[in-house]
A and B are shown apart, each in its own frame.
Chain A
């Protein structure tokens, strides 16, 4: 039952969005879509997404190969550092570059900031895949007479394809849904179009139409990736041997330039800007407000985490233990919705709330519902993985010793899944603290979180005021990100660190 409720919860608001968009008849919709402004926004969104995705693939694959497959100096340190930009939300990065140079804006600014924040989505799965490729395959290829380069092209690259494309998909959908950074860097995309027409004009039809457009484009990309996914199943069992390491010789120290530059641009700049402006403008009054906003963020995160766990435990158990077309469909639906822009989800909940759920519109429950819709798959993925790890034989053993199905679940399955439940809840909380667009649209009046305060202050250029919030967000986000980069093998756990 909770699984059906969750699926309904995710689909219903979208239905309302579509209804709201077509309320004034199809001619209005086609007219809006045909406008030059619309096509321009869509083109700019797609151009940004394509550029960032391509850049992330190049940077992510190169970095993964250097760190896993060469004798790069300080490899172990780089392996951890390379994942850290995940802890920097893109709007925090945008803020810090603006704080360094207020004239930093436009396409290339947005593309650079988003690449620096998103390349770990490609780097992490590719590095994991490189580690899992059985060295025996390369040895066979070499002994069959292929060169090192030929082996890389014909044996390794095909095995990396799955990891690289799944990472690239994340980058593409996140860039399309990106709102905070592109707004701060004044690069107009569809998301900005949605927001400005939602805020500025009396008629909200354009916002709804743009929302549907963005949802359709995202769904199309997800679907296309799903269709082109290779049929081959790569890397079965993890090899027991370490991968073969290529000696870079004289190139070693030149190669370090890549991770070093990335770390400087993605980590050092935000860190220095934040510290500098915090020190410059800090007063105890500011910090009081930071603590208030931090408490609000934490409270929302806690509610969202618990609510997601409530829905995700039955969904995760169902997905791991009783595969059926229904459970598969529900899971697919939640994932597709998860890849939709937060702004679109928030917008659809606004229309849904005005129409049907007026009592909770602009109240905390509405915001929590938005978080559940957005982040449920993170918790489901983590819980499913941990349930799947314990063998069904354990439940059967418990049944044979006198436990009912429910008791076996309570005494065996749930205790074993506890780490997964904890991780899933933590992922949701982390994502909630960093979430910006849905929070802006749906937060109760007067409730300011770390993210919204940072956004408000930065968009009017008050960097000293914004800096402590940036510091607080990064601090809150860094701890789980470190832990995730340590044990993360599955891409599903990465999604949270948006």
Chain B
């Protein structure tokens, strides 16, 4: 193997021509990677300084490959990866993982079992007084003050993940990568841990990329959410914007329960089986001048039951979760076909019985997309 320093020195690390934007903590361009089949196909991703970006996608979409390439455990077939304005993976450039200053938090924590919590956290630090102080500071930050002398197996799963986050943050990495860090934990633990980890990352001013298949996790933790489909980032936007204005219906479905109704556009309004609806977001392909037949995106929380002006629907199923519930509906009017709807109701509201007829209204505006 070529010694690293030599390897890097013989080629310019920062190539002035394909300018990497300053201020970008991570810039990925046209990343390709295949194993038996292509996994990443020309992926682009920009991460700004001090942002927390969630990369959301189903399992097998290439999330982990992306992280491993950025961390330096895998290499790109084509495309470039730049950290803080310098290429770390590009044609004829490959910076070894230990020189990238990229921290990782693995799904299972990957704590060194033979080292105490404090020595795990201090692993990437130079020994000395300063490192002791830094370790204590991080233990406090992740809410584990005083547990530095424990061994990893003496901690709960959630505590182990906290240590893994502290260990990755300790050397002040240029970028922190989190690979589904909460997937192995039970759901009651997850939400508080998510909030604490997000706060710790923000307190450190760190830049982070979180990959997950959990839309709640992505939407609740991130400053920006990137949707990964078929090895490409198809959309990246702040959580609220990406949820309300997804670029297409696939993105919409990946962010939560979505209903799609056929509709007809006229002057900023759309006519559907649920009546005339206000158009909020309009995808470019459904812009004025295009055919008026469109598809309308509705979220279950937009449907309201027992609205006097609503459309009459029949209740076909109910699922009660305590904090909320999901009511399955079909429009009663003939001609609406087998159109299945779902309404999310809040916990304390009335749960209608199956077979009952209710009046259904729509809250807020809707997004429209070209049909087929």
Q: Whole-angstrom distance between the alpha carbons of A391 and B173 in the complex?
A: 23
- Write out, one digit per residue, whether chain B residues 72-108 have a CB within 8 A of any chain A CB (1) or not (0): 1100000000000000000000001111111110101
Distance to closest chain B CB from A370 (angstroms)? 35
Which of B37-45, B110-118, B191-199 contacts its partner? B110-118
Distance to closest chain B CB from A317 (angstroms)? 16
B103 touches A401 (CB 8 A): yes
Out of B98, B164, B168, name the residue touching A399 (CB < 8 Å): B98
A393 touches B108 (CB 8 A): yes
Asked if B298 is at the interface of the complex by the 8 Å CB criterion, the answer is no
Distance to closest chain B CB from A408 (angstroms)? 8
What residue of chain A has the Cβ atom nearest to residue B103's Cβ?
A400
A403 touches B98 (CB 8 A): yes
Out of A394, A404, A412, A416, name the residue touching B98 (CB < 8 Å): A404
Asked if A402 is at the interface of the complex by the 8 Å CB criterion, the answer is yes
Contacts of A399 in B (CB 8 A): 72-73, 96-98
What residue of chain B has the Cβ atom nearest to residue A404's Cβ?
B98
Asked if B352 is at the interface of the complex by the 8 Å CB criterion, the answer is no
A396 touches B73 (CB 8 A): yes
What residue of chain A has the Cβ atom nearest to residue B106's Cβ?
A393
What residue of chain A has the Cβ atom nearest to residue B179's Cβ?
A393
Distance to closest chain A CB from B227 (angstroms)? 26
What residue of chain A has the Cβ atom nearest to residue B100's Cβ?
A400
B124 touches A396 (CB 8 A): no
Q: Whole-angstrom distance between the alpha carbons of A398 and B96 in the complex?
A: 12
Contacts of A400 in B (CB 8 A): 71-72, 97-98, 100, 102-104, 124, 168, 173
What residue of chain B has the Cβ atom nearest to residue A403's Cβ?
B98
Asked if A397 is at the interface of the complex by the 8 Å CB criterion, the answer is yes
What residue of chain A has the Cβ atom nearest to residue B124's Cβ?
A401
Distance to closest chain A CB from B297 (angstroms)? 39
- Write out, one digit per residue, whether chain A residues 163-180 have a CB within 8 A of any chain B CB (1) or not (0): 000000000000000000
Asked if B331 is at the interface of the complex by the 8 Å CB criterion, the answer is no
Asked if A158 is at the interface of the complex by the 8 Å CB criterion, the answer is no
B171 touches A397 (CB 8 A): no
Asked if A328 is at the interface of the complex by the 8 Å CB criterion, the answer is no
Contacts of B102 in A (CB 8 A): 400
Asked if B213 is at the interface of the complex by the 8 Å CB criterion, the answer is no
Distance to closest chain A CB from B59 (angstroms)? 18
Asked if A2 is at the interface of the complex by the 8 Å CB criterion, the answer is no
- Quick one: given A401-B124, A402-B124, A404-B98, are A396 and B110 in contact (CB under 8 Å)? yes
A396 touches B71 (CB 8 A): yes
What residue of chain B has the Cβ atom nearest to residue A390's Cβ?
B113
B110 touches A391 (CB 8 A): yes
Asked if B314 is at the interface of the complex by the 8 Å CB criterion, the answer is no
Asked if B167 is at the interface of the complex by the 8 Å CB criterion, the answer is yes
Asked if B243 is at the interface of the complex by the 8 Å CB criterion, the answer is no
Contacts of A393 in B (CB 8 A): 106, 108, 110
What residue of chain B has the Cβ atom nearest to residue A398's Cβ?
B123
Contacts of A415 in B (CB 8 A): 114
Distance to closest chain A CB from B55 (angstroms)? 18
Contacts of B72 in A (CB 8 A): 399-400
Contacts of B97 in A (CB 8 A): 396, 399-400
- Write out, one digit per residue, whether chain B residues 339-363 have a CB within 8 A of any chain A CB (1) or not (0): 0000000000000000000000000
Contacts of A403 in B (CB 8 A): 98, 124
What residue of chain B has the Cβ atom nearest to residue A400's Cβ?
B104
- Write out, one digit per residue, whether chain B residues 53-72 have a CB within 8 A of any chain A CB (1) or not (0): 00000000000000000011
A401 touches B112 (CB 8 A): no
Q: Whole-angstrom distance between the alpha carbons of A412 and B115 in the complex?
A: 9
Residue with the greatest number of chain B CB neighbours at <10 A, chosen from A396, A402, A405? A402
A391 touches B112 (CB 8 A): no
B110 touches A401 (CB 8 A): no
Out of B73, B103, B112, name the residue touching A394 (CB < 8 Å): B112
B124 touches A416 (CB 8 A): no
Within 8 A of B (CB), among A362-409: 390-391, 393-394, 396-405, 407
Distance to closest chain A CB from B63 (angstroms)? 16
Q: Whole-angstrom distance between the alpha carbons of A405 and B97 in the complex?
A: 9
Q: Whole-angstrom distance between the alpha carbons of A412 and B104 in the complex?
A: 16
Contacts of B108 in A (CB 8 A): 391, 393
Q: Whole-angstrom distance between the alpha carbons of A263 and B164 in the complex?
A: 52
B96 touches A404 (CB 8 A): yes
B104 touches A397 (CB 8 A): yes
Contacts of A391 in B (CB 8 A): 108, 110
Distance to closest chain B CB from A422 (angstroms)? 14
Within 8 A of B (CB), among A409-432: 411-412, 415-416
A397 touches B96 (CB 8 A): no
Q: Whole-angstrom distance between the alpha carbons of A403 and B100 in the complex?
A: 11
Distance to closest chain B CB from A410 (angstroms)? 13
- Write out, one digit per residue, whether chain A residues 279-302 have a CB within 8 A of any chain B CB (1) or not (0): 000000000000000000000000
Contacts of B100 in A (CB 8 A): 400
B114 touches A401 (CB 8 A): no
A416 touches B114 (CB 8 A): yes
A397 touches B106 (CB 8 A): yes
Q: Whole-angstrom distance between the alpha carbons of A322 and B117 in the complex?
A: 30
Contacts of A416 in B (CB 8 A): 113-114
Residue with the greatest number of chain A CB neighbours at <10 A, chosen from B98, B103, B114, B124? B98
Q: Whole-angstrom distance between the alpha carbons of A403 and B114 in the complex?
A: 17
Contacts of A394 in B (CB 8 A): 110, 112
Q: Whole-angstrom distance between the alpha carbons of A399 and B171 in the complex?
A: 13
Distance to closest chain B CB from A270 (angstroms)? 41
- Write out, one digit per residue, whether chain A residues 132-165 have a CB within 8 A of any chain B CB (1) or not (0): 0000000000000000000000000000000000
B71 touches A401 (CB 8 A): no
Q: Whole-angstrom distance between the alpha carbons of A411 and B170 in the complex?
A: 18
Q: Whole-angstrom distance between the alpha carbons of A398 and B168 in the complex?
A: 10
Residue with the greatest number of chain A CB neighbours at <10 A, chosen from B100, B108, B123? B123
What residue of chain A has the Cβ atom nearest to residue B113's Cβ?
A416
A401 touches B171 (CB 8 A): yes
Contacts of B101 in A (CB 8 A): 402
What residue of chain A has the Cβ atom nearest to residue B170's Cβ?
A401
Q: Whole-angstrom distance between the alpha carbons of A56 and B4 in the complex?
A: 56
Q: Whole-angstrom distance between the alpha carbons of A390 and B112 in the complex?
A: 9
Out of B98, B113, B114, name the residue touching A402 (CB < 8 Å): B98
Chain B residues engaging chain A, CB cutoff 8 angstroms: 4, 71-73, 96-104, 106, 108, 110, 112-114, 123-124, 164, 167-168, 170-171, 173
Closest 3 CB pairs of A and B: A401-B124, A393-B110, A399-B97
Question: Could you give 13 example pairs across A and B, Cβ below 8 Å?
Answer: A391-B110, A396-B71, A397-B167, A398-B123, A399-B73, A400-B102, A401-B170, A402-B98, A402-B99, A402-B101, A404-B4, A407-B98, A411-B123
Extra contacts besides A396-B71, A401-B167 (13): CB < 8 Å: A393-B110, A394-B110, A396-B73, A397-B167, A398-B123, A399-B73, A399-B96, A400-B97, A401-B171, A402-B98, A402-B124, A403-B124, A404-B98
